Amino acid sequence: MQTQQTTKPTDVATYISSFPAEVQERLNEIRQIIRDAAPEAIESISYGMPTYKQAGKPLVYFAAFKNHIGFYATPNGHEAFKEELSQYKQGKGSVQFPLNESLPVELIRRIAKYRTMGEID
pLDDT at 118: 67
Record the pTM.
0.88
Q: Which residues contact 69 (CB under 8 A, 6 or more apart)?
A: 23, 26, 27, 30, 62, 63, 96, 97, 99, 103
Amino acid in the structure at residue 17: S
Mean pLDDT throughout 104-113?
95
Q: Does residue 114 have a pLDDT over 70?
A: yes
How much is the pLDDT for 4?
44
Gap between the Cα atoms of 70 and 72, Å rounded: 7
For the chain, give the percent of residues with pLDDT over 90.
76
Beta-bridged to residue 95, according to DSSP, are: 71, 90
**In CATH terms, is domain 12-117 a member of 3.30.930.10?**
no
Residue 10 pLDDT greater than 50, yes or no: yes
CA distances to 60, 69, 100 from 22, rounded to whole Å, are: 22, 12, 11
Q: Can you tell me whether residue 51 is helix, strand or coil?
A: strand
Mean pLDDT of 49-55: 94
Residue 119 — very low, low, confident or very high, per pLDDT cuts 50/70/90?
Answer: low
Question: Mean pLDDT over residues 53-80, rounded?
Answer: 92
Which is nearest to 52 in space by CA: 116, 9, 119, 98?
Answer: 116
Q: Is the pLDDT of residue 78 over 50?
A: yes
Mean pLDDT (whole number) for 95-103: 97
